[in-house]
Amino acid sequence: MTKLPKSEEKKPRATSLPPFKPDIRLANALIGAIAFLQKASLHATPKIIKKYILERCKSPKNMEQLPGYLNRGLELGILKKYNGAFTIGELQMVRKRQKKKIKQEKIDDDIIDKTSMVVSEAPNEPIMQDMEPESNNAT
């Protein structure tokens, strides 16, 4: 048995996935789909996520990239995987809580500002001034 030169040897492919190319629209659609499915108490498996994205998105997305996005989300801690289903990681939940807290503080500040603008001053003229008793001139 003769060996082939190294240039002619078949090199095993590391992965069958295409190289990861970031697409913010697909990433947002993915996170939105997982968040919706999580709120609806449904398991966010890749198959269900794919169906949900295709239903909700107006323009077709490159679904070949979906496994790469899921793996990247796991690496970054944005997503977590439990029993084959994906959920939003603790990092995202903390960010959402902080945003809600900031938004609530702004609302509270606006209410305080608006109430401080209301000035209660006593009127210069009495309100009942227009209703003076009429004098009887008929004598």
CA separation (Å) from 7 to 14, 45, 95, 124? 18, 41, 51, 100
Residue ranges of domains in the chain: 24-92
CATH, domain range 24-92 = 1.10.10.10
Percent residues over pLDDT 90 in the chain: 0
| DSSP for the chain, written as a single string | -PPPPTTTSPPPPS-SSPPP---HHHHHHHHHHHHHHHHTT----HHHHHHHHHHH-SSPP-GGGHHHHHHHHHHHTSEEEETTEEEE-HHHHHHHHHHHHHHHHHHHHHHHHHHHH------SS-GGGGGPPPP----
pTM: predicted TM-score of the whole model, two decimal places: 0.50
Pairing of strands 85-88, 79-82: antiparallel
Contact 50, 63 (CB under 8 A): yes
Contact 73, 79 (CB under 8 A): yes
120 has a pLDDT exceeding 70: no
In this predicted model, what pLDDT tens digit does every residue of 77-95 receive, in sequence order? 888 888 888 888 766 566 6
In the predicted model, what is the mean pLDDT of residues 62-83?
Answer: 83
71 has a pLDDT exceeding 60: yes
